[in-house]
Every structure is written in structure tokens, then in C-alpha cells.
């Protein structure tokens, strides 16, 4: 086996080119990582740009007019993304989520959806295709996306009160337009629609109950996400995290809830249902209740770097394999070589940051430069 590890540091994040095993034929069909976790979900970030400046994700002071976003030539083409996705599907991926930045800012995204929808699992099925969006241009895009083969959308919305929402997105974007996007997604058949609300104590926690009451009985599944220490720019503090248990307690006091069983292994949200049958909500407690044990997600950035954890400090340069890498004299690899290299990357994975957060190893990881949420998607 050739051990070709070439550290490449660019103006974004450190990554090394995965080694290509000499014996490509012995790559496992369904690789598992060091903790026996299979590969099941692939999140593909299609752009590092966004029209919002959510304070917890792309704070204005950092992501200002001087910030260097990636040039278009550095982004994976739709053909490159589809090729990588096809290989990932041969390794176990069944669900693909498009994210960003704001994925709907990537031109003709529906064409990529159509290409991914054309892929097949070894069982002959298309992948489950979803999208996470801030909803700002969803009203315009929902039907096109559905027609191209998108199954579902998750819309991020952090407040129902217009003033509170404008403060959270920090670009004065009105809540009504996002609600219009959610309605368009429902009308287009992109349901069940999920709505993600990041809860930041002191910023929007007063919106928990209004949000719950707005979506109760509509079929939309509202999920509350604990504010996470992802990236290095949001100035995260533990005292701004509102534990999910408190979210549940607040809603339960007004509308009784009971817990539900998870839909599937590796599901990030814990599900709760209203006792009166008005639907369900979810909580994603990455800070107070780590769920690394079942984490089956890989993340591919817009420039083709693969990350095995949301809190990763180091990526694997898949684009160098797809395109070849003049800096190291690497030629583009075959599908078989790509498959073997990716299988090897997954089998060596030992990421579990949320479980380590309070420990010395976790603190050491926090001290390093970690990928930003706007780069790698949620
Ligand atoms: N722009 C799209 C959107 O907002 O839905 C997709 C990308 S965004 C990075 C994906 C998800 O990450 C969103 O639901 C967002 O609220 C969440 N997110 C971003 N920063 C976060 C943080 N620090 N803690 C928790 N969730 C965060
Ligand atoms: Fe943009 Fe989404 Fe990040 Fe908000 S959370 S700044 S909408 S990428
Ligand atoms: Fe997965 Fe990393 Fe999150 Fe743990 S911290 S659940 S390994 S992404």
C-alpha cells in the first residue's frame, strides 16, 4: 500500500490527500470506522456563500467585505460532486443532504439534484435527497427542486417575531418571506418539512413557545438545536447554551409532551409528541447529550474536502483525487482507486468530539482551528 500523505494548507483549512491503496480490490463493501460506525449519510456543502449573517454562524465582523470566499474554479463541479456521491453510495451512503453556506445560492442547484436523483444504490434505489436552507429563496425554487427529485427540505428559522428574526439573521431579512418558503415547500410536496431553530440563551429563547405554537398542528416538525461550539468565529460560550431539557420543560408546561422512539439509528434529534395529537417536535442536544456513538455522517465541502466530524480540524482532499493534483504530481484516480481511498479514510475514523468536549482531548481539539459551520454545513 502506498502511503501518500501530502499536507496542503490553503487559506481555508488544512487537508491532506488520502492515500490510494495499491490493492484496490480488497476495499470493504460497507466499511465501518474505529468505533464500528457505518457510513450512511453524506452532507454536501455546495457553496461557502450566504445571504444571511446569523450571529452564531457567520458573524458580520468576520464575514465582511474583506472575507475571501472561494473562487468558482475551486468549487467541485456538479459532475465531480455526482461522481463522488456515486462512489460514496457504493460504500453505504443512502441519504444525501445538500447544504452550505446557503445552498440555494448555487446556480442551477436543481440540475445537481436531478443528477444525484439519477444515482442508484446497489439495491437499485435512488438516494434519499434532502436540503437544508435558510428559506430565503425557497418560494421561488420549491417546485423546481421537487421536480428534479428532491425528497424533503429542512428550513432554518430562529424566531417568529420579525424583529427578533431580523436580529438573528443580521441582514434585516423578514420572517414572512421564510414562512412563504415553507408554505411553498409544503405545496410542492417536499414534506414533511422540518424547521430548525438554533436556541441561543438570551438571544432568541423567548421565541421557543411562540415557534412551538405556530407550528403545532401544521405537520411541520420543529426541531430545537443547542447552540454549538462549531468553528472559531462565533465567540461561543457555554452559558449561552440552553439545554434541550429546558426547551422541553418550557413547552411541556404549556402543551403536554411525551417522548417517541427514534426513527432510525444515528438520528440526531430526540423526538417528542404532543399528548393532544398536534404533532411532534425534536431536540438536537449535541452539547448536553452527545450522540457520537451512532454518528454515521461524512461531510464533503464545496471544494471537495472530506470531513468526518462537524468539529474536525483536518480534512481529506478528495478533489485532488478527482482532478489530480499538479502540486504533488498526482494524476486523477479511477473510480476503483477513489472507492478504495475513501473506504480507507472511513475505516480510520475515530472522531467523537461531542463526547470528548469536557475532557483534555476535547479541549486540545478546541484549541486547534476547526472548520466553520458555513463551510461544512449543519
Ligand atoms: N444556510 C442553510 C441554513 O441555514 O439552513 C444551510 C447551512 S447552515 C450552516 C445549517 C444549519 O446549521 C442551520 O440549521 C443552522 O441554524 C445551523 N447552525 C449554524 N451554526 C450553528 C451553531 N453554532 N450551533 C448550532 N447550529 C448551528
Ligand atoms: Fe447562512 Fe445558514 Fe449560516 Fe445562517 S446558519 S449564516 S443562513 S449558512
Ligand atoms: Fe458526529 Fe462529530 Fe457530531 Fe460526534 S461531534 S455526532 S462524531 S459530527
Note the pLDDT tens digit of each residue in 261-312: 988 877 889 999 999 999 999 999 989 988 899 999 999 999 999 999 999 9
Among the listed residues 80, 66, 82, the one whose alpha carbon sits nearest the alpha carbon of residue 117: 82
**Cβ contact 1:19 at 8 Å:** yes
The residues facing 241 across adjacent strands are: 200
For ligand 2, whether the C-beta of 102 sits within 6 Å is yes
pLDDT at residue 374 above 80? yes
Which ligand 1 atom sits nearest the alpha carbon of residue 236? 23
- pLDDT band at residue 326 under the 50/70/90 scheme: confident
**Which residue, chain included where needed, has cell 417568529?**
160
- Output DSSP code: residue 139: H
- pLDDT band at residue 12 under the 50/70/90 scheme: low
Distance, CA 325 to ligand 2 centroid (Å)?
A: 31
In this prediction, residue 325 carries a pLDDT of 86
Distance, CA 373 to ligand 3 centroid (Å)?
A: 13
Give the Cα-Cα-Cα angle 263, 266, 268 (nearest 5 degrees).
80
* Residue 177, all three cell numbers: 418571506
In this prediction, residue 5 carries a pLDDT of 43
In this prediction, residue 290 carries a pLDDT of 83
Measure the N-to-C terminal CA separation of the chain; round to a whole number of Å: 34
Q: Which residue, by CA, sits nearest to atom 6 of ligand 3?
A: 292
Which ligand 3 atom sits nearest the alpha carbon of residue 353? 5
Average pLDDT over the chain, rounded to whole?
A: 93
**Cβ contact 96:344 at 8 Å:** no
Judge residue 72's burial from the number of C-beta atoms within 10 Å of its C-beta, 0-12 exposed, 13-18 middle, 19 or more buried: exposed
For ligand 3, whether the C-beta of 291 sits within 6 Å is yes
For ligand 2, whether the C-beta of 58 sits within 6 Å is yes
For ligand 3, whether the C-beta of 307 sits within 6 Å is no
Which ligand 1 atom sits nearest the alpha carbon of residue 230? 23
Name every protein residue with a CB atom under 6 angstroms from any ligand 1 atom: 50, 56-57, 99-100, 102, 132-134, 156, 196, 198, 225, 227-228, 230, 234, 373-374, 377-378
Yes or no: is domain 15-376 CATH 1.10.3720.10? no
Residue count of the chain, please give it.
378
Distance, CA 88 to ligand 3 centroid (Å)?
A: 19
- pLDDT band at residue 3 under the 50/70/90 scheme: very low
For ligand 3, whether the C-beta of 310 sits within 6 Å is yes
Q: Using alpha carbons only, how large is the chain's radius of gyration in Å?
A: 20
Give the Cα-Cα-Cα angle 296, 297, 298 (nearest 5 degrees).
130
Tell me the domain boundaries of the chain.
15-376
For ligand 2, whether the C-beta of 47 sits within 6 Å is no
pLDDT at residue 240 above 50? yes
The pLDDT tens digits of the residues spanning 157-173 come to 999 999 999 999 999 99
pLDDT at residue 373 above 90? no
The pLDDT tens digits of the residues spanning 66-81 come to 999 999 999 999 999 9
Distance, CA 355 to ligand 3 centroid (Å)?
A: 8
Probe ligand 1: pick from 102, 105, 156, 371, max atoms within 8 Å of CB? 156
pLDDT at residue 135 above 70? yes
* Residue 41, all three cell numbers: 449519510
Least confident piece of the model among 4-13, 126-135, 322-331:
4-13
Which ligand is closest to the CA of 133, given by its number?
1
For ligand 2, whether the C-beta of 134 sits within 6 Å is yes
Q: How far apart are CA 72 and CA 256, in angstroms?
A: 50
Q: Phi first, then psi: what are they for 114, rounded to 5°?
A: -60, -40
- pLDDT band at residue 230 under the 50/70/90 scheme: confident
**Cβ contact 144:158 at 8 Å:** no
Cis peptide before 261 (omega within 30 of 0): no
**Cβ contact 120:86 at 8 Å:** no
- Helix runs in the chain, H state only: 78-90, 109-117, 138-148, 162-169, 175-188, 208-215, 244-254, 318-323, 335-347, 353-356, 360-367, 373-376
Dihedral of the alpha carbons of 317, 319, 324, 329, in degrees to the nearest 10: -20
Give, to the nearest 10 degrees, the angle between helix 208-215 and helix 244-254: 60
Distance, CA 57 to ligand 1 centroid (Å)?
A: 7
Q: Which residue, by CA, sits nearest to atom 19 of ligand 1?
A: 57
**Cβ contact 275:17 at 8 Å:** no
- pTM of this structure: 0.94
Which ligand 2 atom sits nearest the alpha carbon of residue 57? 3
Q: Which residue, by CA, sits nearest to atom 4 of ligand 2?
A: 54
Around Cβ 105, how many Cβ atoms within 10 Å? 18
Which ligand 2 atom sits nearest the alpha carbon of residue 51? 1
* Residue 263, all three cell numbers: 426513527
**Cβ contact 352:34 at 8 Å:** no
**Which residue, chain included where needed, has cell 444504490?**
121
Q: How far apart are CA 184 and CA 337, in angstroms?
A: 42
For ligand 3, whether the C-beta of 295 sits within 6 Å is yes
In this prediction, residue 2 carries a pLDDT of 42
pLDDT at residue 7 above 50? no
Q: How far apart are CA 56 and CA 199, in angstroms?
A: 10
Amino acid at each position: 500500500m502506498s502511503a501518500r500523505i501530502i499536507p496542503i494548507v490553503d487559506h481555508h483549512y488544512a487537508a491532506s490527500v488520502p492515500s490510494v491503496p495499491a490493492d484496490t480490490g480488497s476495499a470493504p463493501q460497507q466499511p465501518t470506522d474505529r468505533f464500528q460506525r457505518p457510513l450512511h449519510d453524506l452532507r454536501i456543502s455546495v457553496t461557502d456563500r450566504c445571504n444571511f449573517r446569523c450571529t452564531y454562524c457567520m458573524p458580520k465582523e468576520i464575514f465582511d467585505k474583506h472575507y475571501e470566499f472561494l473562487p468558482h474554479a475551486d468549487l467541485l463541479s456538479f459532475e465531480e460532486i455526482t461522481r463522488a456521491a456515486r462512489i460514496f453510495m457504493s460504500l453505504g451512503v443512502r441519504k444525501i443532504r445538500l447544504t452550505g453556506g446557503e445552498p440555494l445560492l448555487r446556480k442551477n442547484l436543481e440540475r445537481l439534484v436531478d443528477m444525484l436523483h439519477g444515482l442508484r444504490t446497489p439495491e437499485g434505489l435512488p438516494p434519499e435527497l434532502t436540503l437544508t436552507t435558510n428559506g430565503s429563496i425557497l418560494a421561488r425554487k420549491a417546485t423546481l427542486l421537487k421536480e428534479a427529485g428532491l425528497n424533503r427540505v429542512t428550513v432554518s428559522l430562529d424566531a417568529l417575531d420579525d424583529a427578533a428574526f431580523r436580529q438573528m439573521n443580521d441582514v434585516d431579512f423578514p420572517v414572512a418571506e421564510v414562512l412563504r418558503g415553507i408554505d411553498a415547500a409544503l405545496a410542492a410536496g417536499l414534506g414533511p418539512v422540518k424547521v430548525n431553530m438554533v436556541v441561543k440563551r438570551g438571544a432568541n429563547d423567548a421565541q421557543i413557545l411562540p415557534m412551538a405554537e405556530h407550528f403545532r398542528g401544521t405537520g411541520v416538525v420543529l426541531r430545537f438545536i443547542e447552540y454549538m461550539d462549531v468553528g472559531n468565529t462565533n465567540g461561543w460560550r457555554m452559558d449561552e447554551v440552553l439545554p434541550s431539557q429546558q426547551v422541553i420543560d418550557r413547552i411541556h408546561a404549556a402543551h403536554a409532551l411525551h417522548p417517541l422512539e427514534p426513527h432510525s439509528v444515528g438520528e440526531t434529534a430526540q423526538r417528542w409528541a404532543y399528548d393532544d395529537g398536534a404533532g411532534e417536535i425534536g431536540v438536537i442536544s449535541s452539547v448536553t447529550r452527545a450522540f457520537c456513538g451512532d454518528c454515521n455522517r461524512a461531510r464533503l465541502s464545496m471544494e471537495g474536502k472530506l470531513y468526518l466530524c462537524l468539529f474536525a480540524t483536518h480534512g481529506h482532499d478528495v478533489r485532488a483525487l478527482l482532478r489530480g493534483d499538479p502540486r504533488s504530481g498526482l494524476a486523477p484516480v479511477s473510480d476503483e482507486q477513489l472507492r478504495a481511498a475513501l473506504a480507507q479514510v472511513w475505516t480510520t475514523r475515530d472522531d467523537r468530539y461531542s463526547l470528548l468536549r469536557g475532557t483534555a482531548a476535547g479541549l486540545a481539539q478546541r484549541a486547534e482551528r476547526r472548520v466553520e459551520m458555513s463551510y461544512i454545513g449543519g
